[in-house]
Amino acid sequence: MRSDLELETELDHLIDRLDEIDLESEEEEWEAPATVPCPPPTRLTVSGFSRYGDTLAALPASEQQKVRQVAAAILASQRTGYTPVRQVDLVGHADRDFQRGPAFERKISIRRALALQRALQDLIRNSAVSSRIVWQARGAGARNLVVSNPRNEPERSRNRRVDIALSASISANYPVLVKRPGIGYTWTVRGSSGLDPADEAEYQLATFPDPAGVSDSLRVPHKWICSLMVDFGPATGPGPIVMGSRIARGTGTLISSRHVLTAGHVLLSQDPPRNDMFGNPVISTSSAQSVTVVSARDGGKVPAVEPLGRRTTTKTRVSPAWKSSNATNRAFDYGLITLDEAIPANYGFWSTGKSQISPPADASLKDKVGHCSGYPASSCPPFRMPNSCADFTAFTSTVPEPASATTFAFDA
């Protein structure tokens, strides 16, 4: 059994090692004598999906070749002296389907975007490159038709498309959970990727039924899911005048008796946008001053059940790459919390027994339903939102999601 000190050292090494994984191992293969930056094409459209088709194979050969060229451009951009691609946005579209309706149109548009994202990653065949890129796949349904009133199959196929935009910079567009009447909860992201500059509509990522409280928060794996209350220090007004504390809520996973894995933006988050005295935008971030951790909290009971009580910590870490990107590069959006007091040994944690932290094979996810469990921010938003909430989210909830949606990192 490893000691806490050994585990702490190993986790420190792992965080540093994850940030060191870069393009060095492939440098000799990619390096070219060119020294003049050569930016790749910034946008293009892949169209012509067969009816209900949502895979690379469902495209005409000429359009499949476009996808291969995009992958080659992304890979070539990583060479020394070139301008690297940092973000790839994909927006899927559908033709109108009067029989199946808008819900189906949205669903298939999302599937097309996700399919081309996976195809690009497979064609790149280099995890060091793919992990450095922020991938944003979303669906617009049949809202933005190329041919408004198609008369034949070729015209209809032009509406079945995916818009792809490549960018050398990262935009911090995070999915937001919104409740749609008659539909359920929908992850959306604002349309500010540069694909449609005039379109500020929300693109849907995935739709779920309403969250449901778990029957027993002490069952595996819910007992290892932690409710977090994060103190970002005093909130100041003009003057500055102290106007209370900035408190955010989040979710973490107990991965040892003293460590909680969470998202980087839970511990280091961008401040609300502001301008300096000259009107220039100022990007600033705030770091967590302390975190209160409650494992398996069940607020659905009266009084609320906190089986292990509350544990506090002042030691938190985020990826150095997350910090250097001003909390924008989601490839490094992870953080670690070290508890001041260890959880009892018999309580266990994720990775004990049959619970393992490891990426499942694609084949094992096919036709399966996954679950996103935690303390939803929609019920208790972070401090930068205008809403207020009670002392912790009411209950741990479990939201089923399609396996294909695991491309996105969902903040609970």
230, 249 contact by CB (below 8 A): yes
Q: Extract the tokens encoding 13.
A: 């090494």
Q: Do residues 201 and 189 make contact, with C-beta atoms less than 8 angstroms apart? A: no
Sequence-ordered alpha helix ranges (H) in 252-384:
264-267, 320-324, 362-365
Mean per-residue pLDDT over the chain, rounded: 75
- How does 139-159 read in b/e, with b if 16+ C-beta sit within 10 Å? bbbbbbbbeeebeeeeebbbb
List b or e across 322-331, with b for residues whose CB sees 16 or more CB atoms inside 10 angstroms: bbebebbbbb
pLDDT digits (tens, 9 = 90+) for 8-66: 666 666 666 555 544 333 333 333 333 334 445 578 899 999 999 999 999 999 999 99
Average pLDDT over residues 203-207: 66
- Average pLDDT (272-276) is 72
Superfamily of the domain at 23-208: OmpA-like domain (3.30.1330.60)
213-407 belongs to which CATH class?
mainly beta
Distances (CA, A) of 83 to 36, 79, 172, 173, 350: 9, 8, 20, 22, 40
Instruction: Evaluate if residue 107 carries a pLDDT over 50.
Output: yes
Domain ranges of the chain: 23-208, 213-407
Within 8 A by CB and 6+ apart from 301, the residues are: none
Of the listed ranges 121-125, 189-193, 285-289, 377-381, the least confidently predicted one is 377-381
pTM for this entry: 0.65
What pLDDT score was predicted for residue 397? 40
CA atoms of 227 and 253, how far apart (whole Å): 9
